[in-house]
Every structure is written in C-alpha cells, then in structure tokens.
Chains A and B, each alone.
Chain A
C-alpha cells in the first residue's frame, strides 16, 4: 500500500519515466524489425499508458481528489450558496463541538496525575472521609501500592495573612505522601514530600493572581492560619485536581492536624485488579473494626459500604451520585444535536435547490454514460467539502467559546476553573460530525438529483410535484425541531425570571451576610468563641443603620445540612421518619432574616446558654409531626441512633427556601446557636434598610475583634448567586441554543420560500398578465408558506408537549413544563419569522413585469 502512496507524490516523474521506457522499446524494436512492425506488435500506446498508470492508482482516492477539486470550483462559482451553507454548518458544528468539549471537560476530564487508570478512590464503611488515625491504620495495612488522603471540604479553608489583610483561601489538605502516590506534575520547584513539615504548593492561579507570578517565590514563606509555611513548588497552569469538575484550590498544604479528615486515594499494585484490591481492603476494614470499633450500631462494620472506585469514567459518576447532573449534559447534547440537524436541513435544502438548477448538467452527464453511483459520489464530495470547511469554521468558534467559558467565574462556594482545550477526543468527534453531516445533508439531494428522467430533464421542463414534497418536508421538519428548541429555551428563560423574582421566604433585600473564618488554633476553648460571638453581636447591633444582628450555622441557599432520622413526639408513640434541613440560629435570627414566626416565639439569648433543647420548626415539619395541633410547648426526641434528650418546640417559622429554589415543601428544624469546639466559620447576619451601606462598617467591626480572621461581607442579594446559578446557566445555555435554532430555521425557511417564489416567477407573471388580482396572487403565495408553517408548528408543539415533560426536574415548582405562555410565545415568534420570510419574496414576485416573466429563460 505504501508504494501506492509514494506514487501519489511522484506522479510527474513516473509519467516521464514511462514515456522514456516506451520510446526505448519502440526504437529497439524498430532497429530490428522496422518502425511499422514495431508499432503493430506493441499495440495501442495510449491504452497501455492508462493501464500502467491504473496499476498504481488507488482508484477511489484519486476520484475523491478530483471530485473535491471539482466541488471547490463549483463553490467558487457560487459563493453566496457556499457562504450560507458553510455559515449554517459552522454555527451548528460550533455549538455542537463546544457542548461536547464542555461535557468532556466536566464529566470525563483526565486529572493531572501519573497513570490515572491504576488510581482508585474509596469509601470506607459508607464514609467518603475518615480521620487521620484510621487513615494511618489503613495506610500501614499495605493493601495498596501507596494510600494517600486529601481533604477539599470547607474544613480545608485557611486564612492567609498578607500585609494588613487576611484572606480566606481554599486549600487542599493532603497527606504528606499524596504527591508521590498520585504523581502530580509540577511547573516549578518540587512536590510535597514526607517529613517536609509546614510546606505549601501553590496553584498557578494563586501564584499569578495573588503573588504577581513572582519568579523567586520558591523558599518564601506564607503566613497561613498564623503559621509560616515554606513554598516548595508551583503547579502547572493546566493542573486538574483528582476531584475534577473544574475544582481548583489555591494551595496544597499538609494535613497535619489530628482533627483533619481525608478522602482516600490509592495506587493499585502492578497487575492487581480492583476486585482483588477490594477484597484485601475489606479484610483490612475488619481489622480496623477491632482497633476503632464503629459507633453507629451493634452490627456496624467498617467493611460494610466499602467501595473501590476508579478516578475517571462512567463508573465514578455513578458512585458519586451525580447522574442527574450528567443527564443535564445529556440533554444539552441532544439540543445541540437538534441544532446541527437544522443546520444540515438548511444545507440539504440549499443543495436541493442547486441540484434542480443543475438538472441539465447532470442529465447530460448521465446521458453520455456516467454511472449514477459515480455522480452521487461526486455530489457527496461537494457536501463533504462544505462539511469540512464548516467544521473548520465551527472549530474556530469552538476554540473561541471555550476560551470564554474558561474565563467565566461562577458564583460558587468553591473556586472553579474550567480548562477546556481542544484534544484528540474533540478532533475525532468533529471528524465524525463532519462526515455525518455531509451524509445527512448531501445524501438525499444527491439521490434525488440523479433519479431524474434524462429526457425530461434535458427538455428543461419544470415539474411541480416531486421535488416539492421533499423540500417541503425538510422545512416542516426544521420548523418542528426549532419549535422544540425554542420551547425549551423559553422555558428556561421563564424559569430564570421566575426564580429571580421568587420570594425565597426570607427578606434578601434587607440583610447582609458577614462570613468570618477563625484560625482554629487560636481558640482553644469554647468560651473564647462564645465571648467573641457575644461581643460581635453586641457591636454589630449597635452600628448605625443596623436594625438587628444575629448568627447562624447555615446561610440559606448557600449551604446545606440535611438530616434523616426517626423522631418520636409526645403526642404519639409511633416514630416518624423525617428528612429535614437543619440549622442553628442565634437570638433575633428570624427578625434579621425577615422570616415570620407564626406561632410561639423567636430564640432568646437565654436559649443558647441552657442545654440548647429549645427548637423552632417550620410549618411543614409542624404538620408532619403534630398534624393540626399547635406544636408550641410539645416535645420530641430522636430515636436514632440512640434515644436523644427531649427537644421543646418554642416556635413555628413560616416555610422558606433552604438550599435550592426548586425544592418542594421541605421540612426544617432550627436549634439555638451554641458554638462547638470545631466551629471555625461564623456566619453573622445583619438587618439594615440599606444593607449595601453597612458592609464596610460590619467588616471593620469584625476585623477589630480578631485580626487573624478572614472576613467577607456582602448584601444577601449578592450572596444568592449560587442559588440562581442553575436557572441562570440553564437559561443562558438553552436560551442561546433556542435563538441559534431559530436563526438557522429562519434562514432555511426564508431560503426555501424565496426560492419557491422565484421558480414560480413565470407562472405568477402569466397570472398577472391574464388579469389576476394581485391580492389573490399574494394570498396564493401566503397560503403555501403558512401551510408549511402550520404543519411544522403543529408537529413541533406536539413533540414539545412530551419532550419538555422530563425538564420539570430542572425547573422551579411554580413553573410547569407545559407552561401556556411559553408555547404562545414560541408560536408568535415563529409566525412572525415566517411572515417576514414570505412577504419579501411575494412582493418581489408581484413587482415582476409580466413581459419579463413571460420571456424568462
């Protein structure tokens, strides 16, 4: 085969060689037998030359080459057609490959590590994190070729003192062997090593944004949580954590505190399967039971619920329980698939239109003996060329859009950094897309064009029927698909406006949130924290403009603490299984947040000091536990894992939103605030008529109380970005997809209508010449296009009603997927587009001078 390929590059040389050889042969023969005899015995030279050449050629490749060259010439002759087709494909393919890149980056990105396929994550006894003592036990059981741990939970935050300011940073606390086990590549310096002590590895982002990319950073110290840490290394800019999903911590520091908990990651020994490792891990867990007996029940064992999961691939997504999340990307892929389909339909109808104007050419070629297969192949080469150029332009769009997405900073509690880069997966995918769309767009027109009756085509008669149905069904299909796209897009846009205006059940307009992270080592007793909180609440409450101040463990719509347990009330012997959102709140919490107390009272300063047995529940919880009775004064106790002390309900709060805007009728329970020894993150809340005006004073007040603490203050409205994120992202992505779909379908609709009117120029001219009423002609044209529109809309709406049903899980409960306003808007928008697309060509047709129309052709 390679000999044939080498021929491709030496064609000229080969031809002259062959000529030389023939000449030599003929001359030799002529010397012996005379020229005439020599020529006779040699046979026809031309045929011999062709035969020899074809021995060397890869037939289809050469044909493809000449087809592509021919297609290029044809395109250059008709640049308008080419531009519209390529633009359509570029938009479709650009959207498609970008979503593909995004999906790949989010769900299947490769972490920065050595041999990810032999790395595994694990759950021990159903826990994703275990404490350091248990970690050391399992590490020393030598099940794996290295067992490391990392903690990226919010406990892994740290305060960085820089100049006179303290910043809260996201760190990754890792066991000292983490870098060796995982094999993380470094950009500068070295990785963390065992017995390093207090060292820090910087992320590229932190190094560039906060340290101005200082080239002499190695060996310098950072003050983190009041202790000096020596910088030993900087990670490369394309570092991806094993956790993935774009999570990007600022620093890696050693997990040195005994209170640290870590998620485990391990390197499988050479040749050991995951199953074998699992069996050995379970054995090690049984040993662990003896040293650290599990405390959650009589038959509990660390071996139950133990899992060994790969760090990449589908199985990991399943074990992380984020399949709904993956489903969202699946839906996006379907949507961009539909957009590509519309784009293909555009190209397809353009090709059909062109084929009908090339009928003569094709008919002549068929008549002089070209095979139908050969002509189909040549027409397909044209659509392949379009698809290739379209894909090239689409990839440019992809690179640009990916760059935009990489720069987007989302309001998330953890720092995120997407690293979308073109890779071989994208390349393979876009090749497949290019070939696929060439076939989808080109096959039908090509087959259609070559099925013509040769003599009829040569006579240049315009047949009205055949071609119409195919082109019409293309337009109808396009319309139907774009109805589906638009409906989804509009649903998400409506979802966004609905959720932005939704009342979260608390007063977000008149509150501000101050997030204060304490350095854990600085507070050795609970009393120190209690006095800090007391002083802070006192000083904040006295600030001018502040109406009240309080504290809570969880700020609604920003964090979550869900408990599922059985409780027994004092009104019934039957335990009730409840799943509720927990929170703990200081005095005046409900006043500060503007959540009405419906029955009973709010927390008082005295509640925090006692045993903390006073609780406030929301309406839903009250109904669940006490039915219609007034729960105030009643008690209940947890029955799992052990029977707890009785809790007294002192108040019932109005229902509000706790973690997501989409949640429906959640239960909620508030304990009174009482700092525990591990609490390092304090969430102060202040109520003010103009929260923006008190931000600065609040920060300064808290900063004076503890200079080592990091403090961030923002109005509650700004803090709700995280809650709005799903609806905003959904609206931005699907809304723009819907618009793109509409744009493409409008181009297609306009093109087809304009073309069909142009083809009927003669007919219209004739009608006008014979005295037809202009309005009647206009009606005729309009009837046709609105017929198409009606059919497309009907089909599309029918599909949409079913297709949007599963979207309910992404929408706020107040919005039904079959929202009539959405459907009406879609119908109106498409109707307007169709009207504009018809009007232009129809008016042009009417202005046609009957004489010109009759002389047409």
Chain B
C-alpha cells in the first residue's frame, strides 16, 4: 500500500520510492531497501504497475514505475480497508 500511495503522485524510480517512503515516515519504518524490488515485481505481475526505462534527474538511465488503472483501484480499495480497520480499532479502544 505504501508503494502504491507513493506512486499515486506520479511515476518514480526504485531508489526514489525507497527514499520517499523513508522520508515520509520519518525513518520510523525501517525496511530493507532490497526487499522493495521483489515487491515491485510482484505488483508488475499482478498488473497494478507498469515499468519503463527513462532518464533520472541526474541524467542516468533508470526504471520508472507508474500506477495502472487496476493499481489505482487497488489503492482505493486498500485505503478504504485500512481506514475501516483503524476505525474499528479506535472504536474498540474508546469503548473498552
């Protein structure tokens, strides 16, 4: 979900995705950067993402990932599910 969210703003290459996730979570989420790529590839197989070779900011060849319509739908669905989960937890925390 984090990857999908990050890509919702536009196409990015792998390193940028890792950096963005790390920055926006203020380094609270420590994931191995290497595990990003298997995850990206699984999403490619499922058809949520597409990948294209392009040129990065510093003029180097890099692979840019972007969301497909199916990926956008998936993101909406996951966001909704996540919100519902949080709501449910909050409800339990408040009433308990």
Contact = CB atoms under 8 A, between A and B. Distances in A.
A22 B33 contact: no
A528 to B, nearest CB: 87
B51 to A, nearest CB: 9
A42 B34 contact: yes
B63 interface: yes
Given A3-B47, A28-B15, A29-B15, A43 B41 contact: no
A44 interface: yes
B38 interface: yes
Contacts of B60: 24
A4 B60 CA distance: 29
B92 to A, nearest CB: 36
A3 B45 contact: yes
A21 B14 contact: yes
Contact of A25 (B18, B42, B47, B61): B18
A857 interface: no
B33 A51 contact: no
A43 B32 contact: yes
B63 A17 contact: yes
A29 B15 CA distance: 8
A14 to B, nearest CB: 9
A613 to B, nearest CB: 92
A52 B63 contact: no
Contacts of B3: none
A47 B35 CA distance: 9
A51 B15 contact: no
A645 interface: no
Interface string B37-73: 1100110110100000000100011110000000000
A55 B45 contact: yes
Nearest to B43: A55
B37 A18 contact: yes
Contacts of B14: 21, 24-25
With most chain A CB atoms within 10 A of its CB, the pick from B14, B34, B63 is B34
Nearest to A7: B45
Contacts of B18: 25
A21 B32 CA distance: 16
Given A55-B41, A55-B42, A56-B41, A29 B33 contact: yes
Given A3-B47, A4-B45, A55-B45, A24 B37 contact: no
Given A3-B45, A3-B47, A4-B45, A48 B38 contact: yes
A55 B34 contact: no
Contacts of A214: none
A27 to B, nearest CB: 8
Contacts, number: 59
Contacts of A17: 63
A692 B82 CA distance: 100
A326 B51 CA distance: 61
Contact of A55 (B32, B38, B47): B38
A43 B45 contact: no
Nearest to B51: A17
A31 to B, nearest CB: 9
Contacts of B47: 3
A20 interface: yes
Interface string A48-59: 100110111000
B31 to A, nearest CB: 9
Given A24-B62, A25-B15, A25-B18, A41 B41 contact: no
A262 B87 CA distance: 83
A57 to B, nearest CB: 10
A694 B8 CA distance: 102
Contacts of B15: 24-25, 28-29
Contacts of A56: 41, 45
A3 B37 contact: no
Interface string A368-397: 000000000000000000000000000000
A52 B38 contact: yes
A334 interface: no
A24 B61 contact: yes
Nearest to B40: A52
A45 interface: yes
B44 A3 contact: yes
A43 B31 CA distance: 9
A275 B13 CA distance: 68
Interface in B6-22: 13-15, 18
A548 B18 CA distance: 111
Nearest to B42: A55
A17 B51 CA distance: 11
A250 to B, nearest CB: 62
B38 A24 contact: no
Interface string A28-42: 110000000000011
Nearest to A3: B45
A52 B45 contact: no
Contacts of A55: 38, 41-42, 44-45
B32 A42 contact: yes
B11 to A, nearest CB: 15
A402 to B, nearest CB: 46
A49 to B, nearest CB: 8
A338 B35 CA distance: 56
Contact of A41 (B33, B37, B38, B45): B33
A21 B63 contact: yes
B32 A52 contact: no
Contacts of A42: 32-34
Given A3-B47, A56-B45, A25 B38 contact: no
Given A17-B63, A48-B37, A24 B13 contact: yes
Nearest to B16: A28
Contacts of B42: 55
Contact of B61 (A18, A20, A28, A29): A20
25 contacts: A3-B44, A3-B47, A4-B45, A18-B37, A20-B61, A22-B37, A24-B14, A24-B56, A24-B63, A25-B14, A25-B15, A25-B18, A25-B33, A28-B56, A29-B15, A44-B34, A48-B35, A48-B38, A51-B38, A52-B38, A52-B41, A54-B38, A55-B44, A55-B45, A56-B41
Interface of B: 13-15, 18, 32-35, 37-38, 41-42, 44-45, 47, 56, 60-63
Interface of A: 3-4, 17-18, 20-22, 24-25, 28-29, 41-45, 47-48, 51-52, 54-56
Given A21-B14, A28-B15, 20 more contacts: A3-B44, A3-B47, A17-B63, A20-B61, A20-B63, A24-B61, A25-B15, A25-B33, A29-B15, A42-B33, A42-B34, A43-B34, A44-B34, A48-B34, A48-B35, A51-B35, A51-B37, A52-B37, A52-B41, A55-B38
Q: Which 5 A-B pairs have the closest CB atoms?
A: A43-B34, A43-B32, A51-B38, A48-B34, A55-B41
